[in-house]
Structure 1
């Protein structure tokens, strides 16, 4: 079964636009659970542009679904994760000027720091995933990092879906996925996945978890969050049969 992690960062983005207390991402997480989410994903950025420490702490006390915390290899944020101990931590790159995470983690160039952060989190009992482009060198480094899962960055596939390059990007994901699973790591994927392009990724052999945010939150504005999650779950379930 392919699990769906619903990313609620964009709910916090709306709240922080007015620096008020609504909409509350913790409420959104509860509604996502009611809609069938298998997990809740949130990104505690160094600049705290959307999710705040309070959100993480309250969410861990209130939601029943596993929490997947996205974070950079920044020691301050790693320390928070070690203290709070979410069920999973996904190490991602961060650039202050980006709107959202762009590209995968450079495991090759920062292997020592990635290994250090991974070990700190694992020592705290947190499962570690690395958010990586489907690049052979990066996949090889990620496999050797000590992480238990690798989340494939699907942005290039999402941008190309519906074009002649879409099949090539999907083939790159499939090749990377095969290397990850043959090494015994859990296979995750995310970024740019929508109701229109999710099924080929969900159908990849041994796919374990998809993390999706923007598309679900966008649909939720029109149909409500519970229904938006149900719709995505249905597509994933159909593709994974």
Structure 2
């Protein structure tokens, strides 16, 4: 069964909306793990719009499954990662004005900069995943700079409004996953996945982990965090 990483950024978003202490991402992390999630995902953004440095430090102390830190490939974030030592760093593109990550990292176009970041993290014993489009050239570029994993951006698949579009995106994800696996990289997937569209992707055996946040937290508002995680786990089985 594929693993489930639950992104808890939106717990922190709700907290930051009022500037208080509730809801607490740490409490959410405990509940998510107890519900059977295989890991926690947090994105420490430059503008700190949701997850804060203190959250990350404390999460490192309590997470018992896997802590995946999403971050931009810049020196300030690398310093934080080297201090906190998450179980995985996922490098993502980042724009201040975006509501959420809008696309994959251009590894082929930013090869030198990303390769330097990957090497620094590897020197500290931290494995690295690259959040990229399901594009074969990007897969090859990720392999050349020694990425341990790729996380395939599933946004276009999730947002497709016509079956023909969804089929084309599904095929692109399938071929990208096959190539990444063939080249020796682990394959994760995420972005825009929900309780309606994720099941089809489970037919791609090369994908070993799905990182899902918004749909789980949205579902949790109605049924509780424990139930929301368990329902998603069932879809991945």
- TM-score bracket relative to the smaller structure: over 0.9
The C-alpha deviation readout for 1:90-130, integer Å capped at 9, x for no partner, is 00000001000010001111111111111111111111000
The C-alpha deviation readout for 1:48-69, integer Å capped at 9, x for no partner, is 1110011111011012111000
Deviation at 1:10, TM superposition (A): 0.5
The secondary structure found in structure 1 opposite 2:42 is strand
Deviation at 1:185, TM superposition (A): 0.5
Partners of 1:149 and 1:186 within 8 A in 2: yes
2:156 aligned partner: 156
Q: Does 1:11 align with 2:8?
A: no
Deviation at 1:164, TM superposition (A): 2.2
Deviation at 1:162, TM superposition (A): 5.6
**Structure 2 length-normalised TM:** 0.98
- 1:236, 1:162 → 2: CA distance? 24
- 2:170, 2:162 → 1: CA distance? 11
- 1:227, 1:24 → 2: CA distance? 18
1:140 aligned partner: 140
- 1:10, 1:161 → 2: CA distance? 25
The C-alpha deviation readout for 1:21-65, integer Å capped at 9, x for no partner, is 111111111110111100000000111111001111101101211
Q: Does 1:122 align with 2:122?
A: yes
With 119-128 and 39-48 compared, the bigger mean Cα shift is at: 119-128
Partners of 1:2 and 1:202 within 8 A in 2: yes
- 1:210, 1:54 → 2: CA distance? 26
With 136-145 and 91-100 compared, the bigger mean Cα shift is at: 136-145
Deviation at 1:146, TM superposition (A): 1.2
- 2:122, 2:201 → 1: CA distance? 28
The secondary structure found in structure 2 opposite 1:165 is helix
With 55-64 and 200-209 compared, the bigger mean Cα shift is at: 200-209
The secondary structure found in structure 2 opposite 1:119 is helix
**Structure 1 length-normalised TM:** 0.96
Query: Which runs of 5 or more structure 2 residues have no equivalent in the other structure?
Result: none
1:44 aligned partner: 44
Partners of 1:161 and 1:167 within 8 A in 2: no
Runs of 4+ in 1 over 6 A off after TM superposition: none
- 1:200, 1:143 → 2: CA distance? 26
- 2:161, 2:43 → 1: CA distance? 26
The C-alpha deviation readout for 1:177-215, integer Å capped at 9, x for no partner, is 111000010010000000000011122122111100000
2:99 aligned partner: 99
With 20-29 and 213-222 compared, the bigger mean Cα shift is at: 20-29
- 1:121, 1:52 → 2: CA distance? 21
Q: Would you say how many aligned residue pairs link Structure 1 and Structure 2?
A: 237
Q: Does 1:65 align with 2:69?
A: no
1:86 aligned partner: 86
Deviation at 1:161, TM superposition (A): 6.0
